[in-house]
């Protein structure tokens, strides 16, 4: 029992996270207008600091099937706002479920493009109080210590109530398609190196861990 408790606490400790649009030049008949800057390159922009509705749902289309998360802002307001902005601008599209540990969690949230991810590595938000339990199906931001939440999240495969006292605040829960989450590929476990994912993105994962499931597209629904 002691050995099992140590293993659970070690796994919990490993839950790390681990612009304004540019003004376009005057229109010219010979050239198209310059594209607007990508909001994903500026975590501090107004586009990436939206206030979420009181409740909203996120439809997550994956290589294993689709599932839906219902987010309740009152559970974790800062986390809900961050998630809402990320989903609305396609941050998770193409991201892999890089850490899937059966009986514990499925983790994702590192952008597949290292250039984009570099802007978010230190874009942390303050902690929300933990007002909901880490029960099966809840969606939670990963942390690397106090006030370090950025973009990584995990879904609890089971009731991980020990995480409540460690500052992991659920922002929502899977309300449809938990069976899809259950069948995400878990054969690599803890093997993918988060540092390499940060630096090399999906190129590293595709070469070394080709069977990982991925997020195809996320959408905010009423």
pTM, to two decimals: 0.85
Q: Which residues share a beta bridge with 174?
A: 69
* Contact indicator for 151, 124 with CB cutoff of 8 Å: no
Task: Please report, rounded to a whole number, the percentage of residues in the chain having pLDDT higher than 70.
Answer: 84
Least confident stretch, 15-24, 34-43, 102-111, 118-127: 15-24
Check residue 76 and give its pLDDT.
98
Domains recognised in the chain with CATH numbers: 2-15+42-221 (2.40.100.10)
Compute the residue count for the chain. Answer: 222
pLDDT band at 14 (very low <50, low <70, confident <90, very high): low
- DSSP states of the chain as a string? -HHHHHHHHHHHHT------PPPPPPPBTTBPPPPPPPGGG-TTSGGGSPPPPSEEEEEEEETTEEEEEEEEGGG-HHHHHHHHHHHHTTTTTT-B--EEETTTEEEE---S-HHHHHHHTT--BPPPP--S---TTEEEE--SSTT-B-S-EEEESS--GGGGGGT--EEEEEEE-HHHHHTS--TTTT-S-HHHHHHHTHHHHHHH-TT--BEEEEEEE-
Query: For the chain, first and last CA: distance in Å?
Result: 45
Check residue 15 and give its pLDDT.
58
155-207: pLDDT as tens digits:
999 999 999 999 999 999 999 999 999 999 999 999 999 999 999 999 999 99
Check residue 222 and give its pLDDT.
76
pLDDT band at 26 (very low <50, low <70, confident <90, very high): very low
Calculate mean pLDDT across residues 38-50: 95
123-163: pLDDT as tens digits:
999 999 999 999 999 999 999 999 999 999 999 999 999 99
Handedness of CA 176, 177, 179, 181 (dihedral sign): negative
> Is the pLDDT confidence value at 13 over 90?
no
**What dihedral do alpha carbons 207, 156, 101, 10 form, nearest 10°?**
110
Check residue 158 and give its pLDDT.
98
* Contact indicator for 145, 13 with CB cutoff of 8 Å: no
Listed residue (54, 17, 69) closest to 178, CA to CA: 69
> Is the pLDDT confidence value at 36 over 70?
no
pLDDT band at 12 (very low <50, low <70, confident <90, very high): low
């Amino acid at each position: 029992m002691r050995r099992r408790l140590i293993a659970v606490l070690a796994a919990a400790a490993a839950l790390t996270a681990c612009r304004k649009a540019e003004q376009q030049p005057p229109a010219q008949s010979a050239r198209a207008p310059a594209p607007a800057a990508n909001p994903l390159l500026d975590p501090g922009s107004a586009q990436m600091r939206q206030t979420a509705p009181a409740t909203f749902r996120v439809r997550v289309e994956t290589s294993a099937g689709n599932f839906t998360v219902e987010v309740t802002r009152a559970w974790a307001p800062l986390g809900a706002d961050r998630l809402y902005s990320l989903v609305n601008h396609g941050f998770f599209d193409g991201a892999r479920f890089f850490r899937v540990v059966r009986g514990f969690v499925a983790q994702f949230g590192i952008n597949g493009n290292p250039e984009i991810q570099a802007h978010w590595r230190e874009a942390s938000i303050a902690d929300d109080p933990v007002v909901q339990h880490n029960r099966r199906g809840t969606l939670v931001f990963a942390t690397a210590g106090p006030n370090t939440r950025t973009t990584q999240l995990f879904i609890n495969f089971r009731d991980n109530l020990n995480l409540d006292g460690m500052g992991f605040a659920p922002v929502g829960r899977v309300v449809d398609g938990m069976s899809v989450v259950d069948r995400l590929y878990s054969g690599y476990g803890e093997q993918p190196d988060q540092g390499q994912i940060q630096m090399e993105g999906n190129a590293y994962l595709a070469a070394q861990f080709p069977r990982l499931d991925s997020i195809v597209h996320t959408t905010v629904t009423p």
